[in-house]
Structure 1
Amino acid sequence: MHIIKNNRLVRFILLLIPVIIILSCAKKDNKAAAQTPDQPQKQTTFTNPLLASGADPWIYKKGDVYYYMSTGVSNISITKTSAVSELGKATPTVVWRAPASGPNSKNVWAPELHYLQGKWYLYYTAGASSDLATQRCFVLENSATDLLDGNWVEKGKLSDPNGDFFAIDGTILEYKEKLYFIWSGQISTSDITQRIYIAEMANPWTLKTPKVQISIPQYDWERRGSAVNEGPEILKNAAGQVFLIYSGSSCNTDDYGLGMLSLKAGGDPLNPADWTKNPKPVFSKSIDNNVFGPGHNGFFKSKDGKEDWIIYHANAQSGLGCGGGRSPRIQKFTWNTDGTPNFGVPVSTTQNLTKPSGE
């Protein structure tokens, strides 16, 4: 009697084992499927440079879209992207080509895009010949919502009629409901010192006041190779304080770097006394990181608006100067307790950086 019962029990267990094995394998398969997504894991880091070449880089953010541009020599192109760290995957669109002749037919430099008074404006530098003394600032206008599809209308040259000399690298300051144009220029046809000027604007394509000089190369670090203050760019902190970040020294040197002017609280941008210059550069070469001549920058917010980033060009080797090897790089920066920006040190192209937050 006991033998019969045990035999039945054995047969039951033998029949149950395959079922247990099948259920166990199914559980493992389900767990593996849950751990293996259909899409590859999203890359969270990137390395500089963003592109192999691109001097005088500029980025403008509107909504969730970024527009990138850089010096093109004979044309202006705009690259539209939703992620700055993936700029290399986007395709540039040529929006303007230099004419065969005329005051803006040669050496197209440093284009900057701004959205002002409900329209797009594109400021750039160009000249009439290979003689760089003819370089001046010009502006294009586009009233279309999508600037890559609309027509760019030439609005002409921006200059002070009482001092129309060498002028490059124009940018915009919006301050207390007024517009100001800021650029790098010289005081005469024989001048070889690049200074920074400002003038109030009547509208986005016309100066309202005569130019005022607010900076001249005065420190040794600004005079390497030649006496240069150029590439002025506006930066505001969370409290609205205005900083003007500019490039100093010749771009032919490794010492090309960034300096800073600070506008006093409530100050008048047209009053030179209201601007204070930092005696030392705020961003300069890093021999240890193989970054040379970092300069001509721009600024942008991360996609979620929580982080501040700087874009700039630099060379990967010493002695490359103002050539086509200058490449665009980005890195996050922070703020000091006194409200001034802290750009840190230019990072190596071998360093993995976390992508801007929101990407």
Structure 2
Amino acid sequence: MKIINRYLSGVLLSILVISCSKKTDTGVINNGGNTNPPVVTVATFSNPLLSSGPDPWVVQKDGVYYFTRTFGDRISIYPTTKMSALGNALAQTVYTPPSAGIAYSRDIWAPEIHYLQGKWYIYFAADDGNDVNHRMYVLESSAATPVSTYTFKGQLKPTTDKWAIDGTVLNYNNQLYLIWSGWQGDNTPGTQQLYIAKMSDPYTISGDRVMISQADYAWEKSGSSVNEAPEVLTNPQGKVFLTYSASSCFTDNYALGLLTLKDASDPMVAANWTKSATPVFSTNATNGAYGPGHNGFFTSPDGTENWIIYHANSSAGQGCGDTRNPRMQKFTWNADGTPNFGTPISIYVKTAVPAGEQ
């Protein structure tokens, strides 16, 4: 009898378990009606992207991002398919200048990579070891990617040939323009303006320069009266903006300003550029971002998000050296079409990677 009772008890327990489980229309058992969604893991990164990297720049083509920055003695490029994983990319040197004594052999600053008219161009500032001789120069490559061998094309020289750094290119209505930071005179350190000139091709300036911006507000004059590092930004409606860095980079007040080009106007006319009265991106001590500036722009791999890349110091008073490190964050557009960069996000805090990276 004990054996039979044990047998019956086992059968009854099996029936009870089965009766408590329900099958869906597809035949899958849903135990106890548990409808908790599965845990979704979101890929993240944190700033800074590298421990050092002043004057960051990135260009993207065919699914690859090409990052570069100031090294001083060479130009190197980091290729990566994920900007959030820039720290895993290998820097590959594409240009080392000639020996000392050449006009462009020393102090190589702020290189930018541009793909124009089917070729790669790298614009950079350099001198012979004497800062007053800084000028803009350009390299050219016809290779499939910018990680290649380059031909030195020469100096980008307007009629008024003065100190020049931080060159970038505006392609507007099928006309190329070079925009850079320079001195008005021959030896005026500490005072920098923004200039523009037409280009007859990607390595030649035609005609003279026109000044489109100088330090007007107090926030542009901390330490020095500086406008530098111009960068072109176009919104989805085709409106053209120019970010720039203001004040001395030796101060924590280094910040981003914004110029707006009047619609359907001539960029060579200074009056067609309107300056915002306040900075659009500035120091956030709480988040470990001091003197943010010298930026660039890129989009997420799936093309749905806009991102700004910039450098900043992690502590106060670190100045204008290699402690400046590259950071990135997503930005949006205001209702009037202007960019909204927000405030520098905190370092070492996990942030979702650009859309399409997962």
Q: Output the TM-score relative to the length of structure 1.
A: 0.89
C-alpha distance in 2 between matches for 1:147 and 1:112: 11
Where does structure 2 lack aligned partners over 5 or more consecutive residues? Answer: 18-28, 30-36
Q: Which moved more, 1:86-95 or 1:286-295?
A: 286-295
Letter in structure 2 aligned against 1:128: D
**TM superposition shift of 1:10:** 5.6
Asked whether the 8 Å contact 1:163–1:187 carries over to 2, the reply is no
Q: Which residue is equivalent to 2:223?
A: 225
Q: 1:266 aligns with which of 264, 267, 275?
A: 264
Q: Paired residue for 2:315?
A: 317
Is the aligned partner of 1:297 residue 2:309? no
Q: Deviations over 1:63-111 (max 9, x none)?
A: 2110000001000000000000110011110111121120111001101
Residues of 1 paired with 2:109 and 2:323: CA distance?
Answer: 15
- Matches of 2:168 and 2:199 in 1, distance apart? 12
**Counterpart check, 1:187 vs 2:184:** yes
Give how far 1:348 is off.
1.1
For 1:314, give the aligned amino acid.
A
Q: CA RMSD in A?
A: 2.5
Match of 1:235 in 2: 233
AA paired with 1:142?
Answer: S
Q: Which residue of 2 aligns with 1:120?
A: 120
Tell me whether 1:156 sits opposite 2:154 in the alignment: yes
Could you tell me which amino acid in structure 2 is paired with residue 205 of structure 1?
Answer: Y
Q: Is the 8 A contact 2:42 2:352 kept in 1?
A: no
CA deviation after TM superposition for structure 1 residue 229, in Å: 0.4
Per-residue Cα deviation, 1:31-50 (whole angstroms, up to 9, x for no partner): xxxx999xxx8661111000
Q: Which secondary structure does the structure 1 equivalent of 2:268 belong to?
A: coil
> How many angstroms apart in 1 are the aligned matches of 2:116 and 2:278?
33
SS in 2 for 1:273: helix
- Identity %, equivalent residues: 48
In the alignment, is residue 76 of structure 1 matched against residue 75 of structure 2?
A: yes
Q: Paired residue for 1:60? A: 59
Preserved CA contact (<8 Å) 2:48 2:348: no
Counterpart CA distance in 2 for 1:351 and 1:55 is: 21
TM-score (norm 2): 0.89
Tell me the distance in 2 between the aligned counterparts of 1:116 and 1:137. 17
Where do residues 126-145 of structure 1 align in structure 2 (5 Å cutoff)? 126-129=126-129, 131-145=130-144
Aligned equivalents of 1:36, 1:236: Cα separation in 2: 40
Counterparts in 2 of 1:1-359, with a 5 A limit? 44-101=43-100, 102-129=102-129, 131-148=130-147, 150-160=148-158, 162-192=159-189, 193-359=191-357
Q: Which whole-Å deviations, capped at 9, do the CAs of 1:188-239 have from their partners, x for residues lacking one?
A: 1132320100011000000122111000111111111011100000000000
In 2, distance between residues paired with 1:57 and 1:84? 12
Is the 8 Å Cα contact of residues 183 and 230 (structure 1) preserved in structure 2? yes
Residue 287 of structure 2 aligns to a residue whose secondary structure is coil
Conserved? CA contact 2:126–2:136, under 8 Å: yes
Shift of 1:128: 1.0
How far did residue 144 of structure 1 move?
0.6
Which residue identity does 2:126 align to in structure 1?
A: A
**Aligned-partner residue type, residue 285 of structure 2:** I
- Aligned residue for 1:24? none
- Asked if structure 2 preserves the Cα contact closer than 8 Å seen for 1:163 and 1:188, the reply is no
SS of the aligned residue for 1:51 comes to coil
Number of aligned residue pairs: 339
Aligned equivalents of 1:60, 1:91: Cα separation in 2:
16
Amino acid at match of 1:292: Y
C-alpha deviation, 1:254, in angstroms: 0.2
| 8 Å contact kept, 2:125–2:166 | yes
- The Cα of 1:11 is off from its aligned counterpart by 5.8
Q: Distance in 2 between matches of 1:63 and 1:7?
A: 74
User: Deviation digits for residues 101-159 of structure 1, max 9, x if unmatched?
Assistant: 20111001101000000000011111011x211111111001010332x3200001101
CA contact (8 A) 2:192 2:226 kept: yes
Q: How far apart in 1 are the matches of 2:351 and 2:49?
A: 12
How far apart, CA to CA, are the structure 2 residues paired with 1:219 and 1:241?
24
SS at match of 2:282: coil
